[in-house]
Amino acid sequence: MKKFALLLLLALTAGSAWTQSASEFEQYRRKFWSQIAQTCLLPVQWEKSVQELDEGDGTSKESKVFTVDCRKGTALETATGSEKVLAPSEFAELFKYQYNDPHYEDYLQVITHNGSIDAKLSDEYSGKIALKKQVFEVDSATGILRFAEVKVAKNNLLYDFELRTRVWFDEKGLYERHTTETFTKVVLSGSVRTIIEGKRLS
């Protein structure tokens, strides 16, 4: 079984219920993947576009529509019939860093409200850690995760890298759309900005 399909099967088995045994961050992770898995119980058509902009004003954009089979971990491109393997890496950066990491507690301003978390790096510590922002918004009435966001930036003498991923869910907890924006600048090689947008069509 492909990794993506296995991940969703485990998410469905575990469910999205909050438990005392798991950390708060782990609860958000479970809820996120459980809702992705619930979305995949239905026939899903998904549109994905990739746009690249370089510093020389060169721009390219490509959009494709896929019929997704999450249980197989595959996506069939509607126009060509070609098949691609789905990968959890589409949302990997959302959970690579943890706002409740003890090493971050002196740097992040964390606001909690009715089951939601909004963590932001204070301006005075802008160069201290890679995690700049992490948000999980939960509907307090239903317990459904409606929005997740992470923003990361890394800078050194050779390159600058920024990434921002945002994911929206509808009122039923089904995946609705997401965006991932990256900016990379390498010394002597120029810079490029990439914008990835995905949305559920059905």
Q: How far apart are CA 31 and CA 14, in angstroms?
A: 10
Q: How far apart are CA 97 and CA 108, in angstroms?
A: 12
Lowest mean pLDDT among 38-42, 45-49, 159-163, 172-176: 38-42
pLDDT, mean over the chain: 84
Task: Give 26's strand partners.
Answer: none
Q: What percent of the chain has pLDDT over 90?
A: 43
Assigned token pair, 110: 């964390």
Contacts of 24 (CB under 8 A, 6+ apart): 100, 117
Q: Is the pLDDT of residue 100 over 50?
A: yes
| Spatial CA neighbour of 181 closest among 132, 144, 146, 120 | 132
Contacts of 58 (CB under 8 A, 6+ apart): 52
Domain-by-domain residue ranges, the chain? 3-200
3 state SS of 73: coil
| Spatial CA neighbour of 51 closest among 174, 193, 184, 201 | 193
What are the pLDDT digits (tens) for 10-30? 555 555 554 444 588 999 999
State the pTM of this model.
0.85
Provide the pLDDT confidence category of residue 144 given band limits of 50, 70 and 90: very high
What DSSP line would sit under 123-174, residue for residue? GGGTTT-SEEEEEEEE-TTT--EEEEEEEEEEE-SSEEEEEEEEEEE-TTS-
